Amino acid sequence: MCGIIGCVGREDETLDVLVHGLSKLEYRGYDSAGVALSGDRVDVCKKSGKIADLRGALESREIGGAAGIGHTRWSTHGPPTDANAHPHLDCTGDVAVVHNGIIENYQSLRDELVSAGHSFQSDTDTEVVPHLIEDALADGADHEAAVREAIAQLEGSYAVAVVLSGDDTIYAARNDSPLVLGLGEDAYYLASDVPAFRDHTDQVIYLADGEFATLHADGWHVSDVDGDEVEKTVDTVEWDPEETGKSGYDHFMLKEIHEQPRAIRQCLRGRVDELTGSVDIGDLGDLSPTGVQFVACGTSYHAALYGAQLLRDAGIPAQTFLASEYATAPPPIGDALVVGVTQSGETADTLSALREARKRGARTMTVTNTVGSTAARECDHALYIRAGPEIGVAASKTFASQLTALNLFSLGTTRTSDSREIIGALRDLPSNIQAILDESNAEAVAETYVDSGAYFFIGRGLQYPVALEGALKMKEITYKHAEGFAAGELKHGPLALVTDDTPVFAVVTGDGEMARKTIGNVKEVEARDAPVVAVTDGQSDVERYADAVLEVPETHPQAAAMLANVQLQLVSYHVADKLGRSIDKPRNLAKSVTVE
Ligand code: F6R
């Protein structure tokens, strides 16, 4: 998704700060990038392609100024060309604008502007903004009033930042798209996401919808739509800048897979008491919902499936909905809670489902990684997963932390007789995951099956979401066909796809009825000559039917799913690596999907 960075107050370094900030936003996914700096005039440089292409274009340019804005674009209106890259200018070249989100009424605004004589250079919705500002300036408005007037005409979602020639101020506004200010010692920053300026400051202010900010070398100011001052809280970011580096790993994703033991420890810290078998999740423990509806997308949806299963096992009716389909869901019953699982806290589909739930009168909660995110601010309650920043576009450690947090939620809101065993298993998760990371043969399995035509993943109960997640990871980062199925469903259709060129990854832990039934499905696969890769703790005899085995330590069933997932993450990573894929930034994907 698009990213925004802005900086004012470091005249000699503004450009470097912007380009460095853009490189920190690369993880969100993008296809073009650009910067604008304001001095006596506004200088713009923008390029389709990577930040390296922008750096190349900047080498031949003399460009500087006290206030600057930069942008990474992920195309929504028009292809990734230089012309469609942000910043966009008005007809005079005095106003430069970057924008995240979608302006829904852009076509009518554009038609009016074109009939009034404005000339457009791009296919984007964003370009209406500088032209609207130009019109307001021509009518005599001062800079701030002109930007406000333009913003007031926009419908849809936006985080907008503007610089104007002869003015070392950044003007910014947000609606439904994140924007955060950074307060440095000698400079001020703004960005769509903290990593963009975290190297310069840990003091941040999260803007809310409808707020308008001005940043100047001498200070900052936040006001509401009417121009009245808004008192803002300054928050301190708790993670280190190094957490956003690769620390010697070839890819962020591999680093983040290896960070899972630490992420889980952070999630558990201060929240569990193994002796008493109790969990302390603060006020969330008193929610006592009569039922829970989960809404989420992608990997977070798989975490939600797992969470709903935990609650059902503990006697609470729980359902899971794809956030984008929530409009068709039955209304929450009684004192139900609607829980949005979203690591970013900014996913448009999930935010929209949570808003729909509030309209239907439900209490809402988010399970999120991002303090200050829209989901955290809009929901009645928030459970933080504390995974630290995740840069790889494909979610890895945040999934592990979501499952951990959902275990805490289930234990904290229900009475489960084996809570002490579960807490013990959660406590052992970091060392069990570490053992897998140290000893996994996933790379050898990847080597064996790297040229396969497709990959299938099967599991039952809590292993079903893990099978779905295994397939999602495989397709996202390898670009190969992969599907996850409930093990019992295979024979109802998908079995027709199974051949000797389609390895089937079967997640089988424990030796109970579920395991026995999945082994029955494994035999069906084996009989069709498909290679079987068993992900198992060795308690059953699934290994007899497997061509390869990925071992996980024996533990409580709720934790076993999380261990199996690590092996599947590693297989996908190594297949993608052998295929030379862009693992941290897979094609067409974005880290935070802020459009519906
Ligand atoms: C997959 C992935 C996506 C996200 C989905 C929801 O690896 O990262 O499927 O899980 O876009 O994102 P959040 O959790 O930020 O709401």
pLDDT digits (tens, 9 = 90+) for 495-524: 999 999 999 999 999 999 999 999 999 999
* Res 31: pLDDT: 83
* Res 165: pLDDT: 96
Check pLDDT > 90 for residue 309: yes
Q: What is the mean pLDDT of the chain?
A: 93
Report which of 188, 237, 186 is spatially closest to residue 213, judged by C-alpha positions: 188
Q: Measuring from atom 6 of ligand 1, which residue has the nearest CA?
A: 297
What is the DSSP track for 423-463?
HHHHHHHHHHHHHHHHH--HHHHHHHHTT-SEEEEEE-TTH
Q: Up-side HSE of residue 199: CA atoms within 13 Å toward CB? A: 16
Mean pLDDT computed over 370-395: 91
Final residue belonging to a domain, choices 222, 244, 266:
244
Length of the chain: 596
Model confidence at 558, in pLDDT bands (50, 70, 90)?
A: very high
Ligand 1: nearest atom to the Cα of 347: 16
Give distance in angstroms: CA of 590 to centre of ligand 1: 9
Type of residue at 55: R
Report d(CA 90, CA 97) in Å as an integer: 9
The answer to whether the Cα torsion of 371, 373, 375, 378 is positive or negative is positive
Q: Is 482 helix (H, G, I), strand (E, B) or coil?
A: strand
- Give 73: exposed, middle or buried? Use CB within 10 Å, 0-12, 13-18, 19+: buried
**pTM score:** 0.78
336: left (phi over 0), alpha (psi -120 to 50) or beta: beta
Give distance in angstroms: CA of 469 to centre of ligand 1: 11
Find out whether 260 and 284 touch, Cβ atoms under 8 Å.
no
Establish whether residue 407 lines the binding site of ligand 1, counting it when its CB lies within 6 angstroms of any ligand atom: no
Looking at the fold, whether 305 and 401 belong to one and the same domain comes out as: yes
Chain-centre distance for alpha carbon 462? 23
Looking at the fold, whether 221 and 274 belong to one and the same domain comes out as: no
* Res 242: pLDDT: 66
Mean pLDDT computed over 397-403: 98
Final residue belonging to a domain, choices 399, 414, 436:
436
Establish whether residue 567 lines the binding site of ligand 1, counting it when its CB lies within 6 angstroms of any ligand atom: no
Check pLDDT > 90 for residue 349: yes
Report d(CA 595, CA 234) in Å as an integer: 28
Q: Up-side HSE of residue 126: CA atoms within 13 Å toward CB? A: 30
Domain span holding position 27? 3-244
* Res 26: pLDDT: 82
Establish whether residue 347 lines the binding site of ligand 1, counting it when its CB lies within 6 angstroms of any ligand atom: yes
Angle at 36 between CA 35 and CA 37, to 5 degrees: 125
Q: Is 295 helix (H, G, I), strand (E, B) or coil?
A: strand
Residues above pLDDT 90, as percent of the chain: 79
Beta bridge partners of 223: 212, 229
Looking at the fold, whether 457 and 493 belong to one and the same domain comes out as: yes
* Res 332: pLDDT: 84
Report which of 411, 391, 388 is spatially closest to residue 400, judged by C-alpha positions: 388
Establish whether residue 469 lines the binding site of ligand 1, counting it when its CB lies within 6 angstroms of any ligand atom: no
Chain-centre distance for alpha carbon 99? 19
The token pair that represents 439 in the structure block: 């000893």
Check pLDDT > 80 for residue 77: no
Looking at the fold, whether 268 and 219 belong to one and the same domain comes out as: no
Check pLDDT > 80 for residue 448: yes
Looking at the fold, whether 81 and 113 belong to one and the same domain comes out as: yes
Type of residue at 325: E
Looking at the fold, whether 226 and 375 belong to one and the same domain comes out as: no
Which positions are catalytic?
2, 591
Q: Beta 363-368 vs 337-342: how paired, if at all? A: parallel
Mean pLDDT computed over 5-14: 90
What CATH number does residue 121 fall under?
3.60.20.10
Give distance in angstroms: CA of 573 to centre of ligand 1: 17
Check pLDDT > 90 for residue 274: no
Alpha helices (runs of H) in 233-336, residue ranges in sequence order? 252-258, 260-268, 298-313
* Res 78: pLDDT: 76
Give distance in angstroms: CA of 28 to centre of ligand 1: 11
* Res 137: pLDDT: 97
Q: Measuring from atom 3 of ligand 1, which residue has the nearest CA?
A: 298
The token pair that represents 389 in the structure block: 């920043």
Looking at the fold, whether 520 and 551 belong to one and the same domain comes out as: yes
Looking at the fold, whether 492 and 395 belong to one and the same domain comes out as: no
Find the range with the poorest average confidence among 160-174, 241-255, 274-288, 359-373.
Answer: 241-255
The token pair that represents 494 in the structure block: 């998908």
* Res 109: pLDDT: 96
Looking at the fold, whether 266 and 318 belong to one and the same domain comes out as: yes
Final residue belonging to a domain, choices 214, 244, 274:
244
Q: Is 401 helix (H, G, I), strand (E, B) or coil?
A: helix
Establish whether residue 410 lines the binding site of ligand 1, counting it when its CB lies within 6 angstroms of any ligand atom: no
Looking at the fold, whether 415 and 267 belong to one and the same domain comes out as: yes
* Res 592: pLDDT: 77
What CATH number does residue 307 fall under?
3.40.50.10490
Check pLDDT > 70 for residue 80: yes
Give 235-254 pLDDT, tens digit per residue. 998 777 766 777 678 999 99
Report which of 471, 502, 503 is spatially closest to residue 486, judged by C-alpha positions: 471
Q: 3-state SS string over 19-41?
A: HHHHHHHHHHCCCEEEEEEECCC
Model confidence at 417, in pLDDT bands (50, 70, 90)?
A: confident
Looking at the fold, whether 176 and 193 belong to one and the same domain comes out as: yes
Looking at the fold, whether 347 and 364 belong to one and the same domain comes out as: yes
Mean pLDDT computed over 328-348: 92
Mean pLDDT computed over 383-395: 92
Q: Measuring from atom 16 of ligand 1, which residue has the nearest CA?
A: 342
Report which of 83, 77, 82, 136 is spatially closest to residue 107, judged by C-alpha positions: 77
Q: Beta 167-175 vs 156-164: how paired, if at all? A: antiparallel
| Residue 402 host element (H or E) | helix 397-413
Give me the number of domains the chain comprises.
3
More confident residue, 35 or 77: 35
